[in-house]
Amino acid sequence: MLLRALLGFCSRVAVIEEEEVVVVVVVVVVVVVVVVVVVVVVVVVVVVVVVVVVAVRVKVVIVVVVVVAAAVVVVVGVGVLASQNGADFHRIRLIKTLSESENRRPVHIHTEGNFAYKKTCQS
């Protein structure tokens, strides 16, 4: 086996464990969603400040505060739902892609410590 590996009949391909790949994808999706939510909240706050300044002159401050509170709740709720759905979608797609690639050619999964790698041997 060692001789075959040295002669090049077997090839080792380094592979990150599936769980780690999923975690990386989920973290990226969540970070993007959080950035989008923060930008939306900042825009809402700026609009609210402008509306409050105008409303103070018209004496409708209570209505504006209620509308702003409702808008913030909706934005945060949509952001949370989007992050959960996005993470689940990417996790499912990634696992499906990995399993499809595994079915294309026979491979042997070997583990050494915390790492796993695929070993494909030519006969």
Give the pLDDT of residue 123. Answer: 44
Give the pLDDT of residue 71. Answer: 77
| Sequence-ordered strand ranges (E) for the chain | 10-15, 108-112, 115-121
What is the strand order of the sheet 10-15 is part of? 10-15, 115-121, 108-112
Q: Whole-model pTM? A: 0.32
Nearest 5 degrees, angle CA 110-CA 100-CA 102? 20
- Bridge partners of 121, per DSSP, are 10
Least confident of 17-21, 42-46, 58-62: 17-21
Asked if 41 contacts 72 with a C-beta cutoff of 8 angstroms, the reply is yes
Q: What is the dihedral of CA 96, 98, 99, 100, to 10 degrees?
A: 80
pLDDT at 20 > cutoff 60: no
* Pair of tokens at residue 114: 């915390």
pLDDT range class, residue 30, cuts 50, 70, 90: low
Give the pLDDT of residue 37. Answer: 74
